[in-house]
Amino acid sequence: MTESSLTQTVLPRIVLVTGPSGAGRSTTLNVLEDLGFEAIDNLPLSLFPTLMTSPPAGRPLALGFDPRNRDFSTNTMIDIIEGLGTYPDVSTEVLYVDCSRDVLLRRFSETRRRHPLAPGDSPDKGIARELDLLVPVRARADILIDTSEMSPHDLRAEIERLFAPDGQRNLAVTLNSFSFKRGLPRGMDMVLDVRFMRNPHWEPSLRAFDGRDAPVAAHVMADPLAPEFLKRVTEMVLMLLPAYRSEGKAHFALGFGCSGGQHRSVAVTEYMAKALAEAGWQVSIRHRELERKGPSDSALAHGLRE
């Protein structure tokens, strides 16, 4: 492979997303963001040249152009599309998310939304105006997706097929430990109570440590129910994650709670993170109560573990 061909493969990627309201433009941008794009919706056309001459962000960029913007004009949009070739250091594509008039009208009727281009009139008039505005833009699109017969899940699958690295669908998994005394963390998809397990708090030699330390983890895992519990939970989560990913879910948050959020929940969270990572899942960890410790407490804990 020559140097020039290698450079060509790593050009920053920019996808311009547009299309009529109700066709799925926002859904498309959300999916691209889940795939690692930096997504900017409703970008004023006047800001596009400045954005294109700014330093690259280090990840692909998805820009949503909306005919509702106050400075939107068909001619300006066409000028932008036809001028994309003047940016040789980036790879650009125009993605047009389309839909038939009848389906757009049905979608607006079902949601009882006013059309942004006809807020005081019937949706069909706004749909007609917007489609007429976008005719020249549609003709210049590099990628056209007609969502007339698509569900949101179908659209997500199509975007992932076109834009996901190596065709892979991403599902980020966050594992959380917490104390029930402070309530449930926000945004949990599933919560499991591990207060039935042996509590290292009642062992004076272990109390100053937390569930990340080997002696504490060993104490927790020595509970008679621990092996079967962890086996079944791991099997259940590994069964569910592919199903959530197929459903189009981009993030799954699982919480383990105990009394103080220092020992049992932390140890189980660490165990589960290792098991899921070994199975190939992208995993991040949050130990809520440990994160609330002051700097001096964190330094002491670090010293104990060393």
Burial class for 306, CB neighbours closer than 10 Å (0-12, 13-18, 19+): exposed
Whether residues 242 and 181 share a domain: the answer is: yes
In the numeric block, the tokens 């009848």 are attached to 102
Residue 294 makes CB contacts below 8 A (sequence gap 6+) with none
Number of domain units in the chain? 2
Whether residues 23 and 151 share a domain: the answer is: yes
Whether residues 91 and 218 share a domain: the answer is: no
pLDDT of residue 232: 97
Asked which of 147, 167, 187 is the last residue of a domain, the reply is 167
Burial class for 211, CB neighbours closer than 10 Å (0-12, 13-18, 19+): buried
Residues 111-131: pLDDT tens digits? 777 777 667 777 788 888 888
pLDDT of residue 8: 36
Give the residue ranges of DSSP H helices in the chain.
3-9, 25-34, 48-52, 74-82, 101-111, 123-139, 152-163, 214-221, 226-246, 264-278, 288-291, 295-305
Asked which of 167, 188, 219 is the last residue of a domain, the reply is 167
What is the sign, positive or negative, of the torsion defined by CA atoms of 43, 44, 49, 54?
Answer: negative
pLDDT of residue 72: 82
Residues 81-95: pLDDT tens digits? 888 888 877 888 899
Q: Could you tell me if residue 3 is inside a domain?
A: no
Q: What would the mean pLDDT of 166-185 be, rounded to a whole number?
A: 82
What is the sign, positive or negative, of the torsion defined by CA atoms of 141, 143, 147, 152?
Answer: negative
Whether residues 177 and 122 share a domain: the answer is: no
Q: Could you tell me if residue 2 is inside a domain?
A: no
Whether residues 179 and 160 share a domain: the answer is: no
Q: CA-CA distance, 223 to 265, in Å (whole number)?
A: 13
Asked which of 167, 197, 223 is the last residue of a domain, the reply is 167
Whether residues 20 and 160 share a domain: the answer is: yes
In the numeric block, the tokens 């963390």 are attached to 185
Q: Could you tell me if residue 262 is inside a domain?
A: yes
Q: What angle (nearest 5°) sits at the alpha carbon of residue 40, between those of residues 37 and 44? A: 150
Asked if residue 159 lies in contact with residue 169, where contact means CB atoms within 8 angstroms, the answer is no
Whether residues 194 and 137 share a domain: the answer is: no
State the DSSP string of 169-193. Answer: PP-EEEEEEEEGGG-PPTT-SEEEE
Is beta strand 91-98 parallel, antiparallel or unpaired with respect to 143-146? parallel
pTM above 0.85, yes or no: no
Q: What would the mean pLDDT of 157-179 be, rounded to a whole number?
A: 79
Q: CA-CA distance, 100 to 109, in Å (whole number)?
A: 14
Whether residues 84 and 149 share a domain: the answer is: yes
Residues 204-262: pLDDT tens digits? 999 999 999 999 999 999 999 999 999 999 999 999 999 988 776 778 889 999 999 99
Whether residues 162 and 29 share a domain: the answer is: yes
More confident residue, 145 or 5: 145
Q: Per-residue b/e over 281-294, b at no fewer than 16 CB within 10 Å? A: bebebebbbbeeee
Whether residues 61 and 114 share a domain: the answer is: yes
> How long a stretch of residues is the chain?
306
Whether residues 46 and 153 share a domain: the answer is: yes
| Averaged pLDDT score across all residues of the chain | 84
List the CATH number of the domain containing 157: 3.40.50.300
Q: CA-CA distance, 177 to 289, in Å (whole number)?
A: 8
Which residue range is the domain that position 252 belongs to?
A: 172-305
